[in-house]
Amino acid sequence: MTPSSRLSGLRLSGLLAAALVLAAPLASAEPAAVGRYKDWSVFTDTTGGETICYAATPATDKAPKNADHGDVWFYVTSWKSGRARNQPSLKVGYNLREDMAPKAQVGRSSWTLFAVGREAFADDSDDSRIVTALKKGSELRVQAVSARNTQVAYHFSLSGSAAAIDKAAATCR
């Protein structure tokens, strides 16, 4: 079963829109910094008249060391319109294999993500559990496979995640 067949048309269109919006902060100099919360930062951006608020943190460790990972970030995004609230996602600097599900883990809890180009998302039903774990945990680990069949692994600090996620959500209410 492909990721798109698991999703409703609304979810897929929302994810594609979110993918375009999440790509903008890395390519654009326009996002506004709202605040820094230890290892996490909060930003707002406007794309196509839509305000997006997100908490984000860069990978603290990338493996394998000799691979060109590009920028690797983990986001929790909310849209002012309500299109998405506290949606976790991974953004990397290369295309992911869409037929090999990335895995996210906080403590003993883990979730299967699905890849769309350079990003990975959780199913809607997992979003709130992932966000709760991000707020309470100390480290997020993500494993994935690149389109070139390189197995990659990332670590993200969760220090400051609760305050950042809450601030991003509140900013886009």
Rounded to whole angstroms, how far apart are CA atoms 90 and 93?
A: 10
Q: Kindly tell me the burial class for residue 48, based on how many C-beta atoms sit within 10 Å of its own C-beta (0-12, 13-18, 19 or more).
A: exposed
> Structural domain of residue 153, as residue ranges?
3-171
Count of domains observed in the chain: 1
CATH of the domain at 17: 2.60.40.1880
pLDDT at 7: 39
pLDDT at 1: 39
Strand partners, 104: 111, 142
Q: Kindly tell me the burial class for residue 55, based on how many C-beta atoms sit within 10 Å of its own C-beta (0-12, 13-18, 19 or more).
A: buried
pLDDT at 85: 95
CA dihedral 24, 27, 30, 31 (to 10 degrees): 60
Q: What is the pLDDT along the chain (173 residues), one digit of tens a residue?
A: 334 333 333 343 344 344 444 444 444 448 999 999 999 999 999 988 899 999 999 999 999 999 999 999 999 999 999 999 999 999 999 999 999 999 999 999 999 999 999 999 999 999 999 999 999 999 999 999 999 999 999 999 999 999 999 999 999 99
pLDDT at 47: 86
